[in-house]
Amino acid sequence: MLENFLMSIGGSEWIIIGLLVVILLFGSKKLPEFSRTIGKAMGEFEKVRAMSLKQTIDNESNYVGPRIAQSVDNERHKLEMLAESLGIEHINKNDEELRLLILDKINK
């Protein structure tokens, strides 16, 4: 019987029940202080999350490997763009030779 009762309580009712429990535990005089503490904790959490995201973005922007700034039409064009960005001569070389030269240059 209790299980049926618990299942029929919706989300907003649980929020009201939670608020009533908080009021009973801390009292109405301590509630504003408790709310400020929760707000400060949430603010600190958001600051840390934003700082972590900024650090991740900065780390990605410091990448010094080969970059392709333009769109490419096919695999050969992509290989040629990579070779140029790495300073590799691509004329008179087949795709496999270019791949090996690019990998060798990147691994150095």
Tell me: do 53 and 80 sit in the same domain: no
Residue 102: CB partners within 8 Å, gap ≥ 6?
A: 66, 79, 82, 83, 86, 88
In a domain, 46, yes or no: yes
- Return the C-alpha torsion angle 97, 102, 107, 108, nearest 10: 100
pLDDT of residue 41: 94
Domain interval for residue 29? 11-61
3-class DSSP state of 68: coil
In a domain, 98, yes or no: yes
In a domain, 39, yes or no: yes
In a domain, 26, yes or no: yes
Tell me: do 43 and 16 sit in the same domain: yes
Residue 79, Ramachandran bin (φ over 0: left; ψ between -120 and 50: alpha; else beta) = alpha
Tell me: do 50 and 79 sit in the same domain: no
| Bigger pLDDT: 13 vs 68 | 13
Q: How many domains does the chain have?
A: 2
Band of residue 43 on the pLDDT scale cut at 50, 70, 90: very high
**CA nearest neighbour of 82 among 62, 52, 103:** 103
pLDDT of residue 22: 81
pLDDT of residue 44: 94
| Bigger pLDDT: 106 vs 5 | 106
In a domain, 36, yes or no: yes
What percent of the chain is predicted at pLDDT more than 90?
11
Residue 68: CB partners within 8 Å, gap ≥ 6?
A: 78, 81, 82, 85
Which pair of tokens denotes residue 99?
């791949």
pLDDT of residue 14: 82
pTM of the model: 0.38
In a domain, 68, yes or no: no
In a domain, 48, yes or no: yes
